[in-house]
Amino acid sequence: MYAFLALTFIVSKDLLLTIDPYLMIVVRMLGCSLLFLTYAYYSGAVKALSKAYAVSIIILGFFNVYSANILQLIGLNYIDPVNASLWYNSIPFVIALLDYVLYKTRISKTKIISLILGWLGFLPLVVGHASSTHYLYGAFLFVLSAIAMAISALLMEKNKAVDIYPLSFTNGLSMGVGGLFALMHYFFSCCSHDTAIAALRSHYGMLLVLIGSTAICASLYIYFVKKHSALLVTFAGFSLPLFSFLFEIILGNPVIISVNMIISAFMITAALFLFSVKK
C-alpha cells in the first residue's frame, strides 16, 4: 500500500512540471471515483443517501480529498518525495493531538511519549534546512495537509453515518466530490485551458499510472483496515520514505540522504511503533 503511495508522490512531482496541480487532482480523483463507483454498482454496494451521509461525503471530499491533496501537490514543488514521505507520517500525531485538544480524549502515557518523540523527530529535518525557506514552506504545507486529513478523520469518527455504507461506495463518492471542488477551483483560477488539455494528452500514460496507484492504494487501505487494526496500518507508514527512496534510485533521480534525515526517520519510526502499542 505504501509503495503505491510513494509512487503517487514521485509521479505527481514529475507531472507538476507541466500540469496544473488543481487539474491533476481533477483527473486523478474523478478517475478513481469512476473506478470505485463502477465497482460499487456491479457489486450491489450502491445505496440511497441519507442527509447525514451526504454531509459526511461533502466533509470527506473537501478536507480529505481536495484540501489535503492540493496542499501535498503544492508542497511537492518545494521538497522532494523522500522528505515529503517523512512529513506525511505526521498524520497520526496530528490526529491524536487534535483529538485531545478538541474532544478531551484521554491519552495514555505511552501515546504521550510517542507524541513527544514523534514531533521531536521532525526537529532534525527543520534544523537541517533552517536556512531554506523553500523547504520549510513545503514541509509546512504537508503539516497543513495532515491537519486537513485529521479534521476529516475526527469528524467521521464522531459521525457514524458513514459506517453503514460500503467503503468502496464512500471512497467513490468522496473522491468525486473532492475532484469537483478541484474542478471549480481550476476553472476560476486558470486561463489557458487549451494548453492544459495538451499537457494532459502528452502525459496520459503517467496520469493512468497515477490514477491506478491511487485506486490500488485506497483499496489496499480498506483491505488492511478490515484485516488488521488501523494502528497497525499507521505503524506501517514508516515504510513510506523507504519506498520513496527506492523508487527515486530506480528512476535515476538524484537523492541526497543527510544524517538529519536518518535521525528523523529512526525517531519517527520509534514514535509510530509506540503509537501502535495498545496501552
Question: Do residues 29 and 152 lie in contact, with contact meaning Cβ atoms separated by under 8 Å?
Answer: no
Q: Domain ranges in the chain?
A: 2-276
pLDDT band at 226 (very low <50, low <70, confident <90, very high): low
Q: What number is the average pLDDT over the span 236-254?
A: 81
Amino acid, res. 152: S
Element (H, E) at 208: helix 204-227
Amino acid, res. 230: A
Which of 13 and 110 is assigned the larger pLDDT? 13
pLDDT tens-place string over residues 110-168:
888 888 898 899 999 999 888 889 999 999 999 999 899 888 878 777 666 677 888 88
The predicted model scores a pTM of: 0.87
Distance of CA 220 to the CA centre of its chain: 14
Which of 182 and 192 is assigned the larger pLDDT? 182
Give residue 192's pLDDT.
Answer: 62
Question: Do residues 64 and 152 lie in contact, with contact meaning Cβ atoms separated by under 8 Å?
Answer: yes
Using CB atoms within 10 A of its CB, is residue 259 exposed (0-12), middle (13-18) or buried (19+)?
A: exposed
pLDDT tens-place string over residues 87-125:
988 888 888 888 888 777 787 888 888 888 988 999 999
pLDDT value at 233 more than 60: no
Quote the CA–CA distance of 77 and 89 in Å, as a whole number: 19
Quote the CA–CA distance of 149 and 34 in Å, as a whole number: 22
pLDDT tens-place string over residues 38-87:
999 998 888 888 888 888 899 989 999 999 999 999 999 999 999 999 89
Cell matching residue 64: 480529505
Give residue 144's pLDDT.
Answer: 94
Quote the CA–CA distance of 5 and 271 in Å, as a whole number: 21
Give residue 181's pLDDT.
Answer: 95
